[in-house]
Structure 1
Amino acid sequence: MNAQLAEREAAPTAASVLRRAETARVYEVAQHTSLERASLLSARLGADVWLKREDQQPVFSFKLRGAYNRMAQLDPSERERGVIAASAGNHAQGVALAASRLKMHATIVMPQTAPQVKVDAVRRFGGAYADVILHGDSYSDAQAEAQRLRDERGATLVHPFDDLEVIAGQATIGLELLAQHHAPLHAVFVPIGGGGLAAGVAAVIKARRPDVRVIGVQASDADAMARALEAGERVLLDEVGLFADGTAVKQVGALTFALCQQYLDDVLRVDTDAICAAIRDIYQDTRSIPEPSGALALAGLKQYVAANGSVEGALVAVVSGANMNFDRLRFVAERAEVGEQREAVFAVTIPEQRGSFRRFCMALGQHSITEFNYRIGDARAAHIFVGVQTARRGEREALTDAFRANDFGVLDLTDDELAKLHLRHMIGGRSPLAHDERLYRFDFPERPGALARFLERMHPDWNISLFHYRNHGADYGRILVGIQVPSSELALLDDFLTTLGYAYVDESDNPAYRLLLCAQA
């Protein structure tokens, strides 16, 4: 007992974490998860990429390991008083399931910003043994409330990361993957929020295989560990981004910082677009959809390969969770193209004169358009927002040169957050120049040349006053087009629509159009 007490009070080491991990009680409830080779991504990157599938746990994240290990070791009097936890979602689910299995009461404080899928899951896993309280806007707010309740009730606080038993529970992931992969191993990538997973995995890997690099990965707008390691002390962030909500922590733990400072080889920062691209990569190789924090490690792995080229040995990314809100998928799909540098976004200014639109299409060459937004607003110049599919790095510069060679003004908006989040969805409102406008929805076949065919068949005296298109991966693209046609030429317009061969709907009398876009409204 004295030896255990001395170890608890001493600074944690790789050896002490390893001893705890080897006897952790995680497998009373958690599973040995698979280590799978990402064959598609390996071929694309020219690297040997593997995924440690913690999304396969009963709560769809690794957090069950640490939570259960901590709670299983409480004495009878502690169990009687119950536990309190704060979590953005995944730790909460682990505590809830552990409470149900161990038949003890848990009060779980979650931020009001926690995804509903996680809140619902906590209530489902905990059943009659768990109460959920929503408090504050971040994990840090929820943590402060949990500490207040602990002091008030005398319950045990099950910390999501800054506890040696929790760290040891998470460390079993490192032991598993070392047992699963016997070939040369270059590096293991782990996501970091408060640091429990990174601290545990780094400690046991360095204790068993000190030659293997362990690299943490953080969202660039929630990088508390990276900043702490740079400063040499823990720092408190004023704000954290919430896209990767599972790792949105303002300050890392004291224990986790000490372990990461000793045993992590590096911490990488990745942006939202890179995370979205990594979500898609995992889906393509596994048909599983991780949550943003669950894809952090792979986003960092890809960044590492891009910076270092081919390496000797395998690269392993821990897929830490898959508690994804379904309504986020629309955003993820849109941003993944940019994150993989498969889409470039431009604002292009062309003369408002006959033939300019066709010259613009010629400048695009064989590139597929992923999005096109335009609303007439100036008698002299047309301002177009366009997304273009790219296949390799450097194509953005080539497209910019092609536009400029045609004397078109161009802004590369690929890295512009305002443009990607908002401007791409705004098409200009009413315009006094949009007289004699007729509005149509078309179904274009998703193939090169469909737009060019439309332009070639359209009467040369008619003007396109509005155009909106976004590629959604279907067989047919949905396109909204405003065409200025004098009333005396409506019969010609009917002939054009009939012979074009594209399915269409006349929206000229649509009440929303009349209210928001029609010049005559």
Structure 2
Amino acid sequence: MSDFPDPLRKAADHVEAARAATREIRALFDPTPLLRNDHLSQRLGADIWLKREDLSPVRSYKIRGAFNAMRKLRKRDPAQRHFVCASAGNHAQGVAYACRHFGVSGTIFMPVTTPQQKIVKTRTFGGDSVKIRLVGDYFDQSLAAAQEFCAREGAHFLAPFDDDDVIEGQASVAVELLEQLGRAPDMVVLPVGGGGLAAGVLRYMRAAAPETAFRYVEPAGGASLSAALAAGEPVTLRSVDSFVDGAAVARIGARPFAVLSGVDPAHVLLAPENRICGTILELLNLEGIVLEPAGALSVDALPELAGQIEGKTVVCITSGGNFDFERLPEVKERAMRFSGLKKYLVLRLPQRPGALRDFLDILGPDDDIARFEYLKKSARNFGSVLIGIETLDAAAFPGLFARLDAAGYTYQDITEDDTLAGFLI
């Protein structure tokens, strides 16, 4: 890792370093595909291309930065043969793959709560080169244990994004997409978590394709770049929604922010977590593309950019495809709630024969009961019921609510009430 910052380093040096990293990466895998997407292009009236980092050997771009950082450190210090990281996801898998490639030892710290699927995949990529240690219930606890281990054992800690060599490795995405497209795109849409990918791509393309515009997309529940731009420096978010686990970062890296600090805040878009779920389902059902929540960020923002990209060539970086299909029911649920096709009500229902049938008669022809659960009797002759209703058209709900009001029902729509929904749904 080079000293930080280094304002005197020329743009040409960054370009050559990124190209050199790209050449070295060919020892691991061929360039990930850059594919034109007809569905999105027709829908948005633009020329939409997807840079498919979800099709790398570890199904994310993280292998690039991990490989490059490990390669360069071993060149500087051949005696270093032990690398450590803390991660519950894509960075862990990239580090594991690189350790096996270089024949060095890796120790990967993961929270005890890490899904078994991710543990198995990391172990598979690393083979005998990697040991996995499950420490702590939360990532911060795993991180502290990893850093303590490094200090004690003399191992090298591989940061997931706040590292110059990692950023340089992620820039290989930009090297490939320019070579594959054969021209500079009008716009590149980048997902942002810790900022390593965005910084690497931006820094390279500022020099190699200065006419290209950029838009940056981060999860609404983890908007660390927006917070840093507002404050003029990286700040730690008070809370983070962990659903978009590949990009839900409480604090953007200092090194990435040194590159991104001049970004126009108006060019940073926030993607609601539930809306991202609809994008995941759309790409899965219509295109057969499997993306994790972070991997869908750039595509999710396209409708917001519709007025800016018509007739233009746009490249979206689909940054990862490590989607656990056990999450699919939750993704469907969130997507339906965002689109207005599903509502949850707490309904005060009379405790008498025929009361439920009377309620059912109020439903429209396309309304379906997806959940029905008695919560408690709120009075001698009434009970509270949690009821989930799905419909084919969101416009049906105002009519349903009008009929409930006319019939004298007492109810509360808790669909968007995070506190009540967290307890009841």
- Shared topology, TM-score over 0.5? yes
Aligned to 2:60: 61
Measured against aligned partners, the alpha-carbon deviations of 1:395-440 in whole angstroms (never above 9, x if no partner) come to: 544543444344444433332234545424xxxxxxxxxxxxxxxx
The 5 A counterparts of 1:267-306 are: 267-302=268-303, 304-305=304-305
> Which residue identity is paired with 1:301?
L
Distance in 2 (alpha carbons) for counterparts of 1:217 and 1:406: 45
The 5 A counterparts of 1:197-346 are: 197-263=197-263, 266-302=267-303, 304-305=304-305, 308=307, 311-346=310-345
Asked whether the equivalents of residues 41 and 49 of structure 1 are also in contact (C-alpha less than 8 Å), the reply is yes
Distance in 1 (alpha carbons) for counterparts of 2:155 and 2:169: 21
- Cα drift, residue 284 of structure 1: 1.9
When normalised by structure 1's length, the TM-score is 0.70
Distance in 1 (alpha carbons) for counterparts of 2:171 and 2:216: 14
- Cα drift, residue 23 of structure 1: 1.4
Distance in 1 (alpha carbons) for counterparts of 2:11 and 2:407: 62
Aligned to 2:196: 196
The 5 A counterparts of 1:312-461 are: 312-349=311-348, 360-361=359-360, 363-369=362-368, 371-375=370-374, 377=377, 379=381, 383=385, 385-391=387-393, 396-418=397-419, 420-424=421-425
Asked whether the equivalents of residues 110 and 133 of structure 1 are also in contact (C-alpha less than 8 Å), the reply is yes
- Alignment of 1:177 with 2:177, yes or no, is yes
Distance in 2 (alpha carbons) for counterparts of 1:38 and 1:151: 47
> Which residue identity is paired with 2:72?
Q
Asked whether the equivalents of residues 45 and 305 of structure 1 are also in contact (C-alpha less than 8 Å), the reply is no
Distance in 2 (alpha carbons) for counterparts of 1:356 and 1:45: 48
Asked whether the equivalents of residues 105 and 130 of structure 1 are also in contact (C-alpha less than 8 Å), the reply is yes
Q: Relative to 1, partners in 2 of residues 1:370 and 1:42: Cα closer, same or farther, differing over 3 Å? A: farther
- Cα drift, residue 71 of structure 1: 1.4
Q: Relative to 1, partners in 2 of residues 1:102 and 1:331: Cα closer, same or farther, differing over 3 Å? A: same
Q: Relative to 1, partners in 2 of residues 1:239 and 1:413: Cα closer, same or farther, differing over 3 Å? A: closer
- Cα drift, residue 99 of structure 1: 1.3
Measured against aligned partners, the alpha-carbon deviations of 1:416-473 in whole angstroms (never above 9, x if no partner) come to: 234545424xxxxxxxxxxxxxxxxxxxxxxxxxxxxxxxxxxxxxxxxxxxxxxxxx
- Cα drift, residue 41 of structure 1: 4.7
Bigger relative contact order, structure 1 or 2 (CA pairs below 8 A, ≥6 apart): 2
- Cα drift, residue 169 of structure 1: 1.3
- Alignment of 1:150 with 2:150, yes or no, is yes
RMSD (Å), alpha carbons: 3.4
Aligned to 1:29: 28
Distance in 2 (alpha carbons) for counterparts of 1:46 and 1:359: 48
User: Secondary structure of the equivalent of 1:161?
Assistant: coil
Asked whether the equivalents of residues 13 and 259 of structure 1 are also in contact (C-alpha less than 8 Å), the reply is no
> Which residue identity is paired with 1:10?
P
Deviates more, 1:258-267 or 1:379-388: 379-388
User: Secondary structure of the equivalent of 1:387?
Assistant: strand
User: Secondary structure of the equivalent of 1:221?
Assistant: helix
Aligned to 1:124: 124
Asked whether the equivalents of residues 84 and 155 of structure 1 are also in contact (C-alpha less than 8 Å), the reply is yes
- Cα drift, residue 76 of structure 1: 5.5
Asked whether the equivalents of residues 38 and 285 of structure 1 are also in contact (C-alpha less than 8 Å), the reply is no
Q: Relative to 1, partners in 2 of residues 1:136 and 1:353: Cα closer, same or farther, differing over 3 Å? A: closer
Asked whether the equivalents of residues 342 and 388 of structure 2 are also in contact (C-alpha less than 8 Å), the reply is no
> Which residue identity is paired with 2:56?
Q
Measured against aligned partners, the alpha-carbon deviations of 1:356-408 in whole angstroms (never above 9, x if no partner) come to: 6566556543433251415494635774623232445x554454344434444
User: Secondary structure of the equivalent of 1:23?
Assistant: helix
- Cα drift, residue 125 of structure 1: 1.4
Distance in 2 (alpha carbons) for counterparts of 1:198 and 1:204: 10
- Cα drift, residue 233 of structure 1: 0.8
Structure 1 spans left out of the alignment, 5+ residues: 425-521
- Cα drift, residue 179 of structure 1: 3.3
Distance in 1 (alpha carbons) for counterparts of 2:195 and 2:297: 13
User: Secondary structure of the equivalent of 1:73?
Assistant: helix
User: Secondary structure of the equivalent of 1:262?
Assistant: coil
> Which residue identity is paired with 2:150?
R
Measured against aligned partners, the alpha-carbon deviations of 1:169-213 in whole angstroms (never above 9, x if no partner) come to: 111212323333468845333222211011112222333333433
Aligned to 1:18: 15
User: Secondary structure of the equivalent of 1:74?
Assistant: helix
> Which residue identity is paired with 1:68?
F
Distance in 2 (alpha carbons) for counterparts of 1:391 and 1:40: 23
> Which residue identity is paired with 1:292?
P
- Cα drift, residue 324 of structure 1: 2.5
Asked whether the equivalents of residues 344 and 386 of structure 2 are also in contact (C-alpha less than 8 Å), the reply is no
Distance in 2 (alpha carbons) for counterparts of 1:46 and 1:355: 53
User: Secondary structure of the equivalent of 1:414?
Assistant: coil
Deviates more, 1:83-92 or 1:227-236: 83-92
Distance in 2 (alpha carbons) for counterparts of 1:298 and 1:143: 31
Distance in 1 (alpha carbons) for counterparts of 2:105 and 2:388: 55
